[in-house]
Amino acid sequence: MDVCLVIKRRLDELGLEQKDLATAAEVTESYISQLLARKKLPPGPDRT
């Protein structure tokens, strides 16, 4: 499963932007952007 693609599709379905996700997750918009561009790996299950 491509997590980046799932997140992008879901944001689109909900009419949300990366900044909305960043606010909800309490992380920076830059971090979300890097995750979705595959420049950073998502945290492992033991870190969530």
Q: What is the pLDDT of residues 1-48, one digit of tens each?
A: 788 999 999 999 999 999 999 999 999 999 999 999 989 877 777 765
pLDDT of residue 24: 97
**CA 46, CA 21: separation in Å to the nearest integer?**
21
pLDDT of residue 43: 74
Structural domain for 34, as ranges: 3-47
Indicate the number of domains in the chain. 1
Give the global pTM: 0.78
**CA 12, CA 48: separation in Å to the nearest integer?**
24
